[in-house]
Amino acid sequence: MLRFFRIAWLSPIALAVALVGCTHTMIINPDTFSVREDTARLRAPQSITLKNGYSSETKMIIYQGATWDVDMLQLTDAAIQMMSRHLAKNGINVGAGEKTITLRVRDVKASLISIPFASRMNTSLNLEAQMGDGTASMVSAENNSPMIAWRWIEGALLFAVTGLLNDARFVDYVNH
């Protein structure tokens, strides 16, 4: 009987030890959340171009506990999709516009906040915007959630996109 318990417990423990060394890449779904209407008024109609500041896959480790990483190219593409949807709803065509904005998600970090029966993950990131006239802006965002891992990142990304849509330099560039 004792031998059965040793074998039954050995498999989950061995699996847990093996998984600690694995790397898991977080895949972000830009359709999970949408920007709400509480953003600055932007001049419409007009067309602008949103570009990704990354030209190829750029992996970044965001959490060491179980080695999670994100592809910054994919994360920035998700931010562009979130922003494009919101701009289109507000009469701004995202495509071949005269004004160009290059976005880049940076400095993504995740940390575990361990509280008995209420543990959660905290994710922070920066969204950088380089406007075509040479001005730049950086918006920091943070999300704290007990939900599925990628939802922490998606929430922080949503807050960063919303922050950028309200950023004075961004609004001035789009409106003039």
Q: Look at residue 11 in the predicted model and tell me its pLDDT.
A: 41
- Where does the pLDDT of residue 64 fall: very low under 50, low under 70, confident under 90, or very high at 90 and above? low
Looking at per-residue pLDDT, the higher value among 63 and 85 belongs to 85
What pTM, to 2 d.p., does this model score? 0.80
Query: Which of residues 142 and 24 earns the better pLDDT score?
Result: 142
Q: Is pLDDT at 111 greater than 50 in this prediction?
A: yes
Give the dihedral sign, CA 96/99/100/103.
Answer: negative
23-175 architecture in CATH? 2-Layer Sandwich (3.30)
- Look at phi and psi of residue 103 and say left if phi exceeds 0, alpha if psi is from -120 to 50, else beta: beta
Please state the rounded mean pLDDT for residues 72-85: 95
